[in-house]
Amino acid sequence: MTDVLVVAEVEGGKVKKTTLSAITMAKQAGSSFSILAIGGPGTKAAAGELTGYGAAKVLVCEDASLANYVAEHYAPTVAEVGKAFGLVCATASTFGKDLIPRVAAKLDASYAGDCSGVKQDGGKIVYKRPMFAGNAFGYATLSTPIQTATARQSEFEAAQASGGSSPLEDVAKVAPGAAASRVEFVSLDAVKSDRPELTDASVIVSGGRALKEKFFDVLEPLADVLGSALGASRAACDAGYCPGDFQVGQTGKIVAPKLYFAIGISGAIQHIAGMKGSKTIVAINKDPDAPIFQIADYGLVADLFVAVPELVEKLKAHKAAS
């Protein structure tokens, strides 16, 4: 059986929820697992959040030079720690997709990216991966002594704390290679919002190009009453109606909330690939033949500029009465 190393995603002194999906993958893939938290000041305190998930140990590399994520600075340490494990994994977030392939290169390891499932079969790990925008699945086994993989967050349930307390163990930062000298962290320009992050939200309200310049005017009141995150189709982002950070889909963010509103979204295959794992899908579109209705649990054929404000008023009235 395989020992697995989970690389935690730490940001702002906190462990991101995405890490919990990688822990679930590790539990399904191996006999035991450990967790590596790596980053700048505050990382060790954040690592304390991970001690209750059943890991053999939680390894911590805290160094001031790692305060700003740069893959060329992180990968050497992760690779050095990963030498003692059969599988090194993380969630297929921007962080995991950027870091793990570089770790694989340093370890001369094989890589299975964006996995939607994993299991043990005859002493080998079998990785399930989506293909053709999720319309088919491929199954792969890897042959190198050390393997690497990333887990699609929407396909792996977030791990639940199981009690106990894993020991914390410090590890030293490994000096970066020559490539790091040619990479400089300049700044991070991130969209700041009081709303939940798309990948963590339990409710998401998404809009399409049909909203045009009224994207926020129509959707924000609904998002406010639901306490939801805001998402969008690629067409809406490309048209400039909302920031690119809102994009849900094959080339955007993969989400699986409990409730997903698709408003004015026709349902292109690339968008569906990013949200079809949602537990309940509600679609509002004036085109009765829109592909989104094929996967929606509830569909309303209506003018969204009329239907959405009416829905907001009904929800407000329901909240006031309850």
* H or E element that contains 112: strand 110-115
SS3 of 313, please? helix
Question: What are the phi and psi torsion angles at 173 (to 5°)?
Answer: -70, 140
| Rounded CA Rg of the chain | 21
Q: What are the tens digits of pLDDT across the range 284-296? A: 999 999 999 999 9
What's the pLDDT at 191? Answer: 66
Evaluate if pTM is beyond 0.95. Answer: no
The pLDDT tens digits of the residues spanning 155-174 come to 898 999 987 899 999 999 99
Q: Quote the percentage of the chain above a pLDDT of 90.
A: 78
Delineate the domains of the chain, giving CATH numbers in brackets: 3-182 (3.40.50.620), 203-321 (3.40.50.1220)
pLDDT of residue 180: 86
Residue range 184-202: average pLDDT?
Answer: 83
Is 260 in a helix, a strand, or coil?
strand
Reduced to 3 states (helix: H, G, I; strand: E, B; else coil), residue 242 is coil
Question: What pLDDT score was predicted for residue 1?
Answer: 60
Give dist(CA 4, CA 56) in Å, integer: 10
**Which pLDDT value is given to residue 184?**
86
DSSP 279: S
Query: Can you give the pLDDT at residue 138?
Result: 94
DSSP output for 159-197? P---SS-PPEEE-PPPPP-GGGGG-----------SSPP
